Amino acid sequence: MVGRRLGSVLSGVLGLCVVAGGYLAAPASAAPAKPSALPPLAPGTPCTMSARSCVDLDTERAWLIKDGKVIRGPVKVSSGGRGKPTPVGHSLRVYRKEKDYKSQESRIQSGPKKGQPAPMPYSVFFEDGGIAFHSGNPAVASAGCVHLNTADAVAWFNDLQIGDQVQVVRASRESADRKKGVSEPQQPSNITLAPGQIPSGNDDSGDDDSDDSDGDSDGDS
């Protein structure tokens, strides 16, 4: 019994000496974590396969995507100009659709309907501030929205559903950041809206060049 106790005491003292002398073995360091693989791109686009719609601001083109495959596009679009750029992000979401939406800010500038709210047909809103895909002139810069010709606007309106992911990127930046191994390098939207919730702010803020003299939208909203 005495021998066992003495052995225990000596073991404890020896253990303290080892600790005090700095000989306590350090736990083995964990193996460095492997970088996670970047999400794959939808073929032919600068957006990932999770997107339902992709917009490249560099080339002013857009695509519809389903199950990681392009189902329409690329099509010509125009985006924001005059100091009102279209917001960039990987996590934008469709939160509202309105076929016959009229701008609350922009007004028709000439013709028999001068002064009336500018039409934004087939609007699919995907970012706070009233940013939407809608029928418009792809040759004219918007005030933040994405202009599509009428046939494409109808396709976007019919295909995209509430909650679908929209990615708006610059392909040049996307490519450069992917070469560095950076996942989703561009700043995503921080806006989270419930389905059907009306955004704060203005729609396609104040683009005043709309002309509806022939009864159809010029798409300058």
Indicate the domain borders of the chain: 53-206
| Residue 29: per-residue pLDDT | 56
pTM (two decimals): 0.69
Read off the DSSP letter of residue 86: P
- The Cα-based distances of 75 to 109, 115, 147, 181 in angstroms read 28, 31, 11, 29
**Rg of the chain on CA atoms, in Å:** 28
For residue 196, what pLDDT is reported? 42
Rounded to whole angstroms, the Cα distance separating 212 from 217 reads 5
For the annotated catalytic residues, the residue numbers are 134, 145
| φ/ψ (deg, to 5) at 6 | -60, -40
**Rounded Cα gap, residues 144 and 129, in angstroms:** 9
User: Digits of tens for pLDDT over the chain (221 positions)?
Assistant: 444 543 444 344 334 333 344 444 444 555 555 556 789 999 999 999 999 999 999 999 999 999 999 999 999 999 998 889 999 999 999 999 999 999 877 778 788 888 889 899 999 999 998 999 999 999 999 989 999 999 999 999 999 999 999 999 999 999 998 988 865 544 444 434 444 443 434 455 344 334 333 333 443 46
- At residue 172, the 3 state secondary structure works out as helix
Residue 83 confidence (pLDDT) = 86
Superfamily of domain 53-206: L,D-transpeptidase catalytic domain-like (2.40.440.10)
Provide the pLDDT for residue 168: 98
How far apart, in whole angstroms, are the C-alpha atoms of residue 63 and residue 55? 7
